[in-house]
Structure 1
């Protein structure tokens, strides 16, 4: 597969260590996943030793049998009515759903839904992170999905749990990273 000729992020999303960036991929009949890691040294693209490095981000492209199937695969959340409204700055209003020790703050931006998860039982609150994300989204533009896109973020930085997913026709793109800022920067580079 000629991964260099396909649509992919054009920035690594890092603030440092660009000179030690490593990438490898795996593919199947439906698409591929690119793994981004920072090693002790930079290695050749898809070097066999890269599979043992812990990725800081992944980029996934998956082809579905139809546009409807790709839309269904996006974890898009409609903003519910009747929930408490939170002002997130610059005119953005989110709604917060709390219960069973969980809190989800959701807002809409065009074809996108953005949801931030937190666990109040663990002393977490999604509002501060949501305000930071609104500021980042004002700085970085996301790709325009054909129908829907979703940003799903977690207050806890626990693995590759900061995700941005969108569909273009029957193709689904997903970027996952340890950092919300990295995820947003990588996705934004695909909107150009």
Structure 2
């Protein structure tokens, strides 16, 4: 009887060992064995929300921004946008059948497109505002351009280089320097006491346009730039393409405005 009891106990121990669930193991490509529990832990640490907040390149943000627009207006966007070092690009969009507007921001933190946090940003975070608007006719679109032939208007002739003549005028505490290039008309404004800065900035624009191509207007385009200070955002570039009018506004300075336009193909 004593021997039988011992044998029964031994049998129970063996059965218990066989029915217990050992950790599942899997051999990896490099021959290492990894437990299923470890795989579960690794999977749980991959947070989808974290992955979505990873910074996109400027090109990727622009592509994603275009997907947010629902409009019949042919969309014009730059290939890329230059940011201050350490900043990320994001955008807020508004669109309907006949218009769209995109406010591009540069931010220290990664903020998704059209996120509510964008409403809390100051104007200093704005990189540029781009828009497109369809009008009823080509003539109605042309009325939005305010194109002028400055040679006909006249003023004090100023040599801007590259065989381009500007015309200087003054009034109400401001001095203006204006000129035409092709179907574009440009005008810069500065304080009356800063005519030298006005000439320097105008020559920089002329030089930039010698090596960079703006969108081709159909019929005309105008650029009106404020050079009162280097951080001025009173800038606007507008051009017509048949019955559609495109604008670039609120960029910091004339050259940044033109850089954005030159990137539009």
Instruction: Give me the TM-score of the superposition, normalised by structure 2.
Output: 0.65
Cross-structure match for 1:100: 172
Greater per-residue strand proportion: 1
Alpha-carbon distance between aligned partners in 2 of 1:14 and 1:88, rounded to the nearest angstrom:
29
Find runs of 4+ consecutive structure 1 residues off by over 4 angstroms.
Answer: none
Query: Which of 71, 75, 84 is the aligned partner of 2:142?
Result: 71
Deviation, structure 1 residue 2: 4.5
The CA RMSD over aligned residues, in Å, is: 2.1
| Contact residue 75 and residue 165 of structure 1 kept, 8 A | no
Q: Is 1:160 matched up with 2:233?
A: yes
Structure 2: segments with no counterpart, 5+ residues: 1-66
Structure 1: segments with no counterpart, 5+ residues: none
Larger Rg: 2
Q: Is 1:45 matched up with 2:116?
A: no
**Distance of aligned partners of 1:179 and 1:100 in 2 relative to their CA distance in 1, 3 Å threshold:** closer
Alpha-carbon distance between aligned partners in 1 of 2:134 and 2:179, rounded to the nearest angstrom:
27
Alpha-carbon distance between aligned partners in 2 of 1:103 and 1:111, rounded to the nearest angstrom:
23
Structure 1 residues 6-15 or 165-174, which shifts more? Answer: 6-15
C-alpha distance after superposition, 1:31-52 (max 9, x if no partner): 1111111112122222121122
Count how many residue pairs are aligned between Structure 1 and Structure 2. Answer: 188
Greater per-residue helix proportion: 2
Alpha-carbon distance between aligned partners in 1 of 2:171 and 2:75, rounded to the nearest angstrom:
42
Q: Is 1:114 matched up with 2:183?
A: no
**Distance of aligned partners of 1:159 and 1:51 in 2 relative to their CA distance in 1, 3 Å threshold:** farther
Alpha-carbon distance between aligned partners in 1 of 2:109 and 2:175, rounded to the nearest angstrom:
41
Alpha-carbon distance between aligned partners in 2 of 1:117 and 1:94, rounded to the nearest angstrom:
13
Indicate the SS of the match to 2:205.
helix
| Contact residue 13 and residue 183 of structure 1 kept, 8 A | no
Q: Is 1:35 matched up with 2:103?
A: yes
Which one scores higher on RCO, CA 8 angstroms, separation ≥ 6?
1
| Contact residue 134 and residue 245 of structure 2 kept, 8 A | yes
Alpha-carbon distance between aligned partners in 1 of 2:207 and 2:254, rounded to the nearest angstrom:
12
| Contact residue 77 and residue 106 of structure 1 kept, 8 A | no
Cross-structure match for 2:7: none
Query: Which of 46, 56, 63 is the aligned partner of 2:127?
Result: 56
Q: Is 1:180 matched up with 2:250?
A: no
C-alpha distance after superposition, 1:45-70 (max 9, x if no partner): 22121122231211011111111111
C-alpha distance after superposition, 1:100-130 (max 9, x if no partner): 322221111110001001120xx22221110
Cross-structure match for 1:88: 160
| Contact residue 133 and residue 246 of structure 2 kept, 8 A | yes
Instruction: Give me the TM-score of the superposition, normalised by structure 1.
Output: 0.88
